[in-house]
Amino acid sequence: MRSLATPGARRWILPVLLALAPLWLIGTLDRGAWTPDEPREADIAWRMSVQHHWVLPQLAGRPFLEKPPLSYWMSAEAMRLFGPTVRAARTPNLLYAAVTAVAVGALGFAMDGAAAAIVAALVAGSAITAFRVAMWLAPDASLLAGCAVSLLGAWLGYTAPPGRRKLYGYLLMHAGAAIGFMAKSAVGWGVPGLTLLTLIAWERRGSELRRPELYAGFLLQAAVIGPWIYAVARTAGGGESLRILFWYNLAGRFTNVAAPAAYHYSTGHRNSLGKYFIELPVYLLPWTALAAAAAWRARERVRLAGPRGTRWRFAVAACVPFLLLISVAITGRDIYAAPALLGVSLLAALELSEAQWLAGSGRRDPLLWTRRLIAAIACVFAAALAVLGAAGAANARASPAVALDIGEYSGAVAAMLALVWLALRRAAGAQRHGRALRGFQWTFAAYAAAFCITSLVMFPTIDRWQDLPLLARRIRTDTAHASLALLDPDETTVAMLDRRLRTRFTVLKTNGDSRRSAVRRWFAAHGDRARMLVLLPGHASGELTPLLEWAHLYRPPGDGIAGRLAAAGAATIVHRYRLPHGRRYALLGPADGRARQTSTQNGT
C-alpha cells in the first residue's frame, strides 16, 4: 500500500476532475427542475433563502420534516449569490460531486496507487445512479459526499498504527459521517459504520473497538449535530418535530409505526425482495461488466492474508452490508443504493489495478464487454436522437413553435457516433498492448462523449416537457382574482405554485367517500369565482405521440376525478393545462353554469 504522502500522490486529481467536469456541468447547469423531487427541493431551497429562521426547511411555508437542512442551507446560499433559479440551487452539487470523486480516488490511491485512484474516481463519478444522485437537487448528493469522506477516513484510521495518524483518520471518518447526518439523518452513519464493523468482525480485530482514537471523533459529531438538534427542540412543537425526523422518518422506512397519516412513510416507494441486487447491473452502467469481473475476482482476493486481502475485504464491506440493510426496508428507490456504489467503484479499481490483460494471456477482458456495452448505449442514444428529430420534422407544419431541427439532430448523431468509435478504437489498441489504465481512460472518454452530446441536444426538449414554472404562471394568471383550492395535491403541485410566485391557495384533503361533498361545500362557501386545481392522470400528448400510438404504447388518458366531479354535477372544468409528454391539470369552477368552460392547451 502507498500512503497519501507519496510523491505524486495528487497528480491524478486534476485529470480526474477535468474528465468528469463536462458531465457534471451539463447535468447540473444545463437543465431545469425535473420530476420527481426536484420541483419540491427547489421550492424548499428558495424558501430557505428568504426565510429568517434556518433551523427547519419549509415547503410552501410549512415545516418540511423529512431531512436535516444541510443541503438546503447550501442551496439557499447559492440562490442568494447567483439568483433564485434552480440552476443556482444545484450549484453546490458541483462541490459534492468533486468531494465524492476526490475522496474515493484518494481511497483508491491509499489502497493501490494512482491507477486505482483514477478508476475509482471515474467509476464513482459516472456510474449512472451515482451520477444521477450527484447531479440531482436533493439531499442525497451531499449524503454521497459525506459517505465518501467517511469511507476514506475509516480506511486511513483502520490501517494506521496507534497514535496521531489513526486519530486523524478516524476524525475524518466522523467528519464525513456528520456531513452525511446533516444531509439525510442517521443514514449518513450507515455506510462507514457497517463497513468498519464488518471489516473488524471479518478480520477478527476486536481490539480496534477499544482504540480511543476511534471514539474521539464523536465529540466532533456532537459539536456539529448537537446545536442543530437543540435548536429544533427549542422551536414550537420541537418534540414532535424530532419525533418525525428521527422516528417516523427512520423507523417508518423499515416497519409500520403508529404515525399521523401525513408521516406514514412506509406507504410510499414500496420495496421488493432482492430489488437492489436485481437492479444493481443497471445502477452501475456503463461499468457493469467491469464491476462483475471485480466481484468474481473478489471471491478469491478476500481470502488473502495481510494488507492485500484487507483492501478487497474493505471494498466488499463498503457495499454489500449496506445493500443488505436497505433491502430489508419497506421503502425502496434506486437512489438509496448510491452510497453502496462507492464500494463497488473500489472493487472495480482494484480489479483493473491488479489485472494485466496482455495480448494472448488467455484472461477474459472485462473492458472488452464494457466497450461493447458503451457502443450499444451510444446506438440507443443515436436512435433516440433520430426519433426526436423525425418527430420534430413531422410536427413542423402543425406546431412550428415546437418543431425540432432535424439537421441539428442528424449532426449530433453523426458527431457522437464518430467520437465514440474513435475513442473505443483507441481503447482497444491500448488494451492490446497491455495498457489497461489507458484503455480504461479511452473507454471512459467514449461514454462521456456519448452522454454529453446526447444531453446537450435532448435536455432542452425534456425541459419543455417539464416546464412547470410555465404552468404555474398561467394558473396564477387565471386565478388571480379567485379563491383557489388544490384538491388532494402532491408535493410537486404545491411546490410548483409556491416557488417564487407564492400563489395563495388552500389545500383540500379528502377521501373517496367525502370528496364530492367536500368540493360542493368549497364552492358553496367561496362563491362563483372559486376555483379548484386538480392533477389529471397520465401524461399529455406531444410530438412523439403518433409514434407511440403506432406502437400501441399510448392511450389518451381520461379526466380522472375531475371528469367524475363534472359528470356528477359537483363542478365544471373551466380550464385545462398540459405540458407535452408531461403533467396535465384541470381547473374546476362551480357547477351552476356561471363558470364559463374553456379548454386551453398550455405549455405547448
Of 2-11, 190-199, 580-589, the poorest mean pLDDT is in 2-11
Question: Could you tell me how far CA 7 lies from the centroid of its own chain?
Answer: 36
**Could you tell me the CA-to-CA distances from 308 to 134, 305, 483, 541, 546 in Å, in that order?**
31, 7, 69, 57, 58
76-85, 280-289, 389-398, 566-575: which range is least confident on average?
389-398
pLDDT at 335: 94
When pLDDT is averaged across residues 196-200 and rounded to a whole number, the result is 97
Residue 263 confidence class, pLDDT cut points 50, 70, 90:
confident
Highest mean pLDDT, choosing among 9-23, 118-132, 365-379, 505-519:
118-132
Per-residue pLDDT band for 260 (boundaries 50, 70, 90) equals confident
pLDDT in tens, 274-293: 999 999 999 999 999 999 99
Q: What is the mean pLDDT of residues 460-467?
A: 93
Going by pLDDT thresholds of 50, 70 and 90, the confidence category of residue 394 is low
Q: Which of 55-69, 141-155, 398-412, 417-431 comes out lowest in average pLDDT? A: 398-412
Helix (H, G, I), strand (E, B) or coil at 370: helix
Q: How confident is the model at residue 331 (pLDDT cuts 50, 70, 90)?
A: confident
Percent of the residues in the chain that have a pLDDT greater than 70, as a whole number: 91
Q: Which three cell numbers stand for residue 505?
A: 391557495
Confidence (pLDDT) at 600: 44
Residue 331's DSSP bridge partners are: 270
Report d(CA 270, CA 279) in Å as an integer: 15
Q: Give 601's pLDDT tier (boundaries 50, 70, 90).
A: very low
pLDDT of residue 261: 72
Give the residue extent of every domain in the chain.
13-354, 366-462, 468-589
Yes or no: say if 191 and 337 are a contact pair by the CB < 8 Å rule.
no
Grid coordinates belonging to 200: 473488524
Of 195, 171, 156, which Cα lies nearest the Cα of 339? 195
Q: How far is CA 548 from CA 35, 325, 555, 563, 586, in A?
A: 21, 40, 9, 25, 24
The confidence score (pLDDT) of residue 240 equals: 93
- Which residues make Cβ contacts (< 8 Å) with residue 105, sequence separation at least 6? 12, 13, 16, 117, 118, 120, 121, 124
Residue type, 562: A
How would residue 515 be classed by pLDDT, with cut points 50, 70 and 90? Answer: confident
- Tell me whether the omega of the peptide bond preceding residue 68 falls within 30 degrees of 0, making it cis: no
State pLDDT tens for residues 550-574: 888 888 899 999 999 999 999 999 9
Return mean pLDDT, the chain: 89
pLDDT at 512: 67
At residue 121, the pLDDT reads: 97
Q: Looking at the predicted structure, is the pLDDT value of residue 359 above 60?
A: no
CA atoms of 475 and 194, how far apart (whole Å): 49
What type of residue is 67?
Answer: K
Q: Note the pLDDT of residue 225.
A: 97
Over 50: is that where the pLDDT of 403 sits?
no
Give mean pLDDT, residues 239-252. 89
Residue 389: predicted pLDDT = 78
Q: Which of 112-126, 243-257, 484-498 has the lowest mean pLDDT?
A: 243-257
According to the model, what pLDDT value does residue 346 have? 98
Query: Mind listing the pLDDT tens digit for each residue in 311-330?
Result: 999 999 999 999 999 999 88
Evaluate if residue 146 carries a pLDDT over 90.
yes
% of the chain with per-residue pLDDT over 90: 72
C-alpha cell at 343: 464500494
**Residue 604: predicted pLDDT:** 43
- Which three cell numbers mark 359? 495480448
* Whether pLDDT at 391 is above 90: no
| Torsion angle of C-alpha atoms 313, 314, 315, 318, degrees rounded to 10 | 120
Query: What angle, 0 to 180 degrees and rounded to 10, lies between the N-to-C axes of helices 366-394 and 436-465?
Result: 20
